[in-house]
Structure 1
Amino acid sequence: MNMTWLISFDIKTAGVETEKHLIVQADCLAMAEHGVKQMGATWWPELQQDEGEHWWCFDQGEVWFSAITLLEDVEFSILRGLGFLSLWQVSETPDGVIVRDEFGHCWQDYRR
Structure 2
Amino acid sequence: MGRLEDLKRNIEEYFQSAELLFKQGLNNAAFMMYFKTLVAVADYTLWRDLRVLPDNHRERFRLLRPRYPDLYNVLSHYFPYYRDTYTKRVDERLLIAVRSDVIRLKEKVE
TM-score (norm 1): 0.35
Q: Which protein has the bigger helix share?
A: 2
Q: Which protein has the bigger strand share?
A: 1
TM-score (norm 2): 0.35
